[in-house]
Structure 1
Amino acid sequence: MKKSEIKLTVELDDNKIPENITWESTDSESKDALPAKAFMLSIWDHNYKNTLKIDLWTKEMPVDEMKQFFFETLMTMGDTFLRATGETAIVEDLRDYCAHFAEKMGIEKHS
């Protein structure tokens, strides 16, 4: 069985606010840690039927990029949900909401 590892490194300031975030993967072509301004990690806890999550962003993350990050995340969550469940009708509803979100936030839809 093949194993892969993803490593996230968060550097905090004296007030424990993220200053730098980097990530690396054993499957990545790059051997260097790559910079990131934000990440959201969700893990399903089967025993408690609950989601464990970590959301972090650096103090340098601009608000317009955070809006775009949320839009892109919602869109890809829809794609993932469709692949996992085949529920096309609700994914179409989510995509409609994402279009509304993008319009209200004044962001460009790149997906």
Structure 2
Amino acid sequence: MAKNIKSDIKISIELDENRVPEKMAWTARDGGVANEEAKAMLLSLWDPNQKETVRIDLWTKDMPVDEMQQFFHQVLVGMTDSFKRATNDEKMADTMKDFTDYFAEHLNLKEK
């Protein structure tokens, strides 16, 4: 029987007195990441019992809007790639790509 391996990803959030994120860092020792700064995160987990997504969406109060736009664009592009790999649904992935292109064009992100 194969031995199961456990791997942890740790996310640390420093909050101000109003519980608004000021600093974030993450560690994934198996990936060679130790206490790396982050300004935003979107974490989605599938609850198989409730058949729904649970989410944690956080960003620091000093995250600039232009970087937030770029962050969301890159997340959408990544979700499109993951959707295509997970479902093999090329038609929908192409539709999603069209949207990410529209998103980038509308926010003038292609130049950045």
TM range (shorter): over 0.9
Matched, 1:92 2:74: no
Letter in structure 1 aligned against 2:103: F
- Give secondary structure in 2 for the equivalent of 1:19: strand
Match 1:75 to one of 54, 77, 81: 77
Relative to the length of structure 2, the TM-score reads 0.93
Contact persistence 1:42–1:53 (CA under 8 A): yes
User: Which structure has more RCO (C-alpha within 8 Å, separation ≥ 6)?
Assistant: 1
Over aligned residues, Cα RMSD in angstroms? Answer: 1.3
Matched, 1:22 2:31: no
Give CA deviations for 1:24-68 in whole Å, capped at 9, x if unaligned: 0121224x3000000000000011011000000001111001000
Q: Which ranges of 4 or more aligned residues in structure 1 deviate by more than 2 Å? A: none
Q: How many correspondences in the alignment?
A: 109
* Structure 1 residue 109, shift from structure 2 partner: 7.0
Q: Structure 1: where are the runs of 5+ without partners?
A: none
Percent of residue pairs identical: 44
Match 1:2 to one of 2, 5, 13: 5
Give the distance between the partners of 1:80 and 1:38, measured in 2 at CA. 20
